[in-house]
Amino acid sequence: MLVIRPIRHSDFAALRTIAVESGHGFTSLPVNDELLAAKIARSEASFIKAIERPGHEGYLLVLEDTDTGEVVGTCGIEAAVGQQDAFYHYRLGTEVYYSSQIGVRNEVETLTLCHDYTGSAELCTLFLRPNYRRGFNGRLLSRVRFMLLAQFPERFGETVIAEMRGISDEQGNSPFYAWLQEHFLGIEFTQADYLSGLGQKSFMAEMMPRSPVYVCLLPEVAQRVIGEVHNNTRPALSMLQAEGFRWRNYIDIFDAGPTVECSRDDIRSVKESRLFTVNIADIAVNAEAPQYIVANTQLADFRATLTTLQLDEDRDTVTISHALAKALLLNDGQQMRVLAI
């Protein structure tokens, strides 16, 4: 069985393997032992922390194959970005130039450095190992975060964002960043991306363009990738769009990938997930029955998986097997959150 649970310190080696496999552009998991250990410790603290409002908490989950004990994927949510480190984006806008004297009107796109998403929750750190990219495993790993948003809305910002990986080649070279490197930053894309992942962002404020950038003055190859996603990220973007996420003209400052957003309470899976009271019984598995993402309602001991169910929607009850109840740490009469896949 594949079960999603909070990460723990014993998962360090697995998380490091995922960081290596995720490759260039996966800023939230740089290959740095000290940082990865700190991310695990921060997540463990966040899951048990009493809060009054969302702050610098980060919730990191792993997907475990309970048959082998192997960790095969990860996903995360930042409670409210920009609380300690500046959270930069470029905002794509338009300036209008008009002269009645010569009868000319021009609209020019601009990129302006901003912190507009400060305080938003962020979906991040989604990675599924290649051997498990089948069936609904990817959907489980991505959408399970909405179960946490639905169950614990007070722990997360009212706007939820997701940064989509922009265009880069197999060596990690970004057409958009090449212009920044030549004229402003002077360091390789992979180095800038790595420093950003470490939280060492002071060079951005010191070296990034301070004035709006006119898009028409960029090289054409850089212009073409603004707001475009990496081919490997297209499935994740499509899934988020189906949840109600939309691009509002904000892009990553390094690779120009789009950042999409949705109001927390308007996310489709947040609205459609429901609570059912659990009945535990010996039941036969019906492979033809509809599949659901299911989760307990706990935080520190959060558990979720994908399964078929026998729902009584009129009574808001669900009958589950002893094995499923054990995997989800559920007892008879407790509540379980259910989301149709």
Tell me the angle at which helices 33-48 and 12-22 cross, rounded to the nearest 10 degrees. 120
CA distance 125 to 73: 9
Structure tokens at 270: 């947040």
For residue 176, give the 3-state DSSP assignment: helix
DSSP string, 211-279: SPEEGGGS-HHHHHTTT---GGGHHHHHHHHHHT-EEEEEE-TTT--EEEEEEGGG-HHHHH-EEEEEE
The residue annotated as part of the active site, out of 56, 89, 230, 322, is: 230
- Residue 41 makes CB contacts below 8 A (sequence gap 6+) with 9
Q: How far is CA 43 from the centre of its chain?
A: 15
* Backbone φ/ψ region at 196: left (φ over 0), alpha (ψ -120 to 50), beta: alpha
Active site residue 9: no
Q: Which residues of 19-41 are buried (b: 16+ CB within 10 A; e: fewer)?
A: beebebbbbbbbbeeebbeebbe
Cβ-count burial of 88 within 10 angstroms (0-12 exposed, 13-18 middle, 19+ buried)? buried
Q: Enter the tokens of residue 306.
A: 């994908």
C-alpha pair distances (Å), 71 with each of 2, 12, 279: 9, 10, 29
Q: Residues with catalytic annotation?
A: 230
